Amino acid sequence: MSNASLPATIPAVSARGIGKSFHGKRVLDGISLEIEKGQTVCIIGPSGSGKSTFLRCLNRLEIPDEGLSVIDGEPIGYGRRGDHLVELSARGLARQRAHIGMVFQSFNLFPHLTARQNIVEAPRAILGLGREESDARAAELMQRVGLADKLDAYPETLSGGQQQRVAIARALAMQPKVMLFDEPTSALDPEMVDEVLTVIRGLASDGMTMIVVTHEMGFAREVADRVVFMDGGSVVEDGPPREVFTAPRHERTRNFLEKVITKERAAL
Amino acid sequence: MALASSARLADLHALPRVRRPRRLHWIGAVVAIALALYLLAGAALTPGFEWRIVGAYLFEPRILQGVWISVVMTAVTMVLSAILGVLVALLRMSSSVALSALARGFIWVFRAVPMLVQLLFWYNLAALFPRLGLGIPGLPPVLSVDANSVITPLTAAVIGLTLHETAYLAEIFRSGFLAVPRGQREAADALGLTPQRTFLRIVLPQALRIIVPTLGNEVISLLKATSLVSVIALSDLLYTVQLIYASNYQTIPLLVVACIWYMVITGLLSLVQSAVEKRLANRAGRPSRRLVLEESES
């Protein structure tokens, strides 16, 4: 939106001091993360380290107890009034979210709608696209994720990998400024992981700004501009993949990587 | 090794296979047919049923008029209650404590007061409030009408039935809304759909699919509940039948006429329900059972 008026150096995502507790247990301990436009950042870490919660705090699916997420210059969940940030209505928040794509672990396609209907729903409702225009966009996106022949299929009839690719197309249809991926391949059968990773890889090379929470170390090493290792609700390590994977500075990172990589080797 | 040779294995594969005799099916069929014949013969041969009189009254204009009133009352009540039921369910699930308490109170009161009592109460509303109007207590009313002219048996019946049914439907709708996986709402939120759009396009259609069988049940119960309006002298099917047998004393045959009509309408409603369920199932997008389970575990 106000993209052009912002200096080119402003980060696409700027989260500061994000804190969150569930039932008295501190899940996120004041996390700060800035992401440049066009960067792909992979967040890795053991289950329960708060990766997904952090991602969900960025677009306010989870309301953080402290801290603020600013995406593309907009304080998520707030509007600026003079020298205050005032909490937005559900409608105002929806308007901000329209520019942030999200892909879920369990796909969350709408089961009563076809792939095409899943994709055109938001562009029609929010961007006000007409039938022809939105259908054309759906067809183009389905082509891009390699499912041109599945436009009129219901989610139930698609494999997990296909459903996830439709979910990616659905998020892209809103032409988001940032894409958030919450463990996009964790619910997939092993042979379907690659078809989804290929699509995400393609987005990375097209220059999409992305945050990917993932357990796929090979993918992170290959695609990420930056890898963030989280443990116990904080960022432990943050750097280029080569550094994080081959010369981790922290004991905890080393332990985690050893465990994961031994497991990956055993699987081969 | 249980098999002595590969020749014996080949024998096993070559043997013809015979279907197991389904003896219980046959016994069941015989018993069912015998029972049906016994009941039919019993009904036909019992003189008290007076089948000739049943036949004579089955399509009598007054009876048909009564059937019509029962059906229309069911339809009007169901439509009104469905709309109000969704609203009450939404209020009940509201994050505002006051609104939620209001909806809870409504559901409590109108499920608590028996249908029959409510009908009598609404019918006699004029005794409580001789004039109905809008206004603030203590000030002269803005708009005022004679209660007796507004509360006819028909309006009393529709108001009573609708309030009662709304309370039940609100809980049914709520259960449907809760059964839609949370991920569906999250996906809609993440796309930036407004709350209204999310509700109308994503949550409501999936909830309806889940509660169609329960709704079918509810329509059928309501059809029969309309027979209660006979206590406020509204000429529905049952009241019409009562009027007729009060003058010709053919009580049993006329009750049989009423039963036949209730059974016919219920049968038709069941057919409609199956058709709706089938149509929804054919559109493939049943919320998958697996997904619902996954969500409820997390």
Give the pLDDT of residue A7. 55
Count of domains for chain B: 1
Closest CA to A200 of A225, A186, A218, A179: A179
A113/B285 CB distance under 8 A: yes
Q: Is the per-residue pLDDT at B209 higher than 80?
A: yes
Minimal Cα distance from A94: which residue of B? B192
Q: What ipTM goes with this model?
A: 0.91
Residue B26 lies in a domain: no
Element (H, E) at A52: helix A51-58
B81 within domain boundaries: yes
Beta bridge partner(s), residue A239:
A227
Rg (CA), chain B: 28
Q: Which residues contact B292 (CB under 8 A, 6 or more apart)?
A: B179, B181
- What does pLDDT average to over chain B? 88
Residue B39 lies in a domain: no
Answer whether residue B11 is part of any domain: no
B180 inside domain: yes
Q: Using 50, 70 and 90 to split pLDDT, how confident is the model at A8?
A: low
Q: In this structure, which amino acid lies at residue B153?
A: P
Residue B246 domain-assigned?
Answer: yes
A244 to chain B, closest Cα gap in Å? 31
Residue at B161 is within a domain: yes
- Please say if the pLDDT value at position A137 is more than 60: yes
CATH number, domain with residue B199 = 1.10.3720.10
Chain A positions touching B291 (Cβ under 8 A) are 106, 111
**CA–CA separation, A120 vs A173, rounded Å?**
7
- In chain B, residues with a C-beta closer than 8 Å to the C-beta of A109 are 187
Q: What percent of chain A has pLDDT over 90?
A: 91
Tens digit of each residue's pLDDT (9 = 90 or more) over A71-115: 999 999 999 999 999 999 999 999 999 999 999 999 999 999 999
Give the gap in angstroms from C-alpha B271 to the nearest C-alpha of chain A: 23
Q: Which residue of A has its CA nearest to B184?
A: A108
> By residue range, what is the domain housing residue B124?
50-134+143-284
More confident: B85 or B8: B85
Which residue stretches of B59-152 are H helix?
Answer: 61-92, 97-112, 115-123, 125-128, 147-150
Q: Cβ contact (<8 Å) for A90 and B183?
A: no
Residue bearing tokens 């013809």: B16
Cβ–Cβ of B291/A125 closer than 8 Å? no
- Entry pTM: 0.83
Does residue B13 lie in a domain region?
Answer: no
Contact A121, B191 (CB under 8 A): yes
